[in-house]
Amino acid sequence: MSRFSVRSAELAPIWISIALVLIALGNVVLAVFWIVAPHLLQYDGAAALASAVALLTGTFGGLGEYQRRTRDRFERRYRDQLRTSQDLADLVTEAINIFKDITRTDYNQVMLVHHEGYTSSLYVVADSIAPGKQRYRRTSFKGLVGQVVGDGRPIRASNVKKLDRYMSAVPSTEAELIVPICSPDGAPVGVLNSESDSSGHFTHGMEIRSEALALAIGSLLPEVHWSSVQPVSTLPQLK
């Protein structure tokens, strides 16, 4: 046996020990985010650190799996918060309060699809909007919200004015976050929409938590007997 082989055999237990220590430390870091302070995951820096640790240590199957587990954890939390809702109005009112806490902006909406004859629209059923900013009840599928309903994929835009399909409701808007609300069978039936006057405001952590909230809302829509063809007069009124 060569001297190099002997040396490698002697060092192998040391390298294994170092690897085990790094994995243990990685689990400690992830435990801080996962159990002690999960709210920190809304910040890009914290979310990136947690994701990097998961990727490097192989914990939870790496980056994608860790993000999925994070989203699922928030979804369970939000579903528990929303489950006490007595009807659709209660559900979307509680949802908008959670959503504005996630996004930390003064322009937030919950929209649901409505079908009437051959016409389909999006109705705002709850909002939290600063005084002086444009509110509206109904919108078409032509803009970014329609795109998200159409393809079921979220949009997190740092500068909306660079997007071809952007239709301005508030001139001061620079950034926008839109995530689809899907029914239990996976069909997009609405969106959560948030706008900010600051370019680049929305973080990846905010997007993950907003997706979790949207999943929770979608899972509970059958329990509050929502239907896309119910009369407009029965939809929650904006306050």
Domains observed in the chain: 3-78 (no CATH), 87-234 (3.30.450.40)
pLDDT of residue 4: 46
Which one, of 104, 92, 103, lies nearest residue 190 by Cα?
Answer: 92
The answer to whether residues 236 and 99 touch, using CB atoms and an 8 Å cutoff, is no
3-state secondary structure of 85: coil
Q: What tens digit of pLDDT does each residue of 128-163 get?
A: 999 999 999 999 888 899 999 999 999 999 999 888
- Stated pTM of the model: 0.78
pLDDT of residue 225: 92
| Segments in the chain below pLDDT 70 | 1-66
Question: In angstroms, rounded to a whole number, what is the distance separating the alpha carbons of residues 54 and 23?
Answer: 9
To which residue do tokens 């909306």 refer? 160
Phi first, then psi, for residue 124 (nearest 5°) are -80, 120
Written as six digits, the tokens of 181 are 């609300």
Residue 157 β-bridge partners: 176
Written as six digits, the tokens of 21 are 């220590």
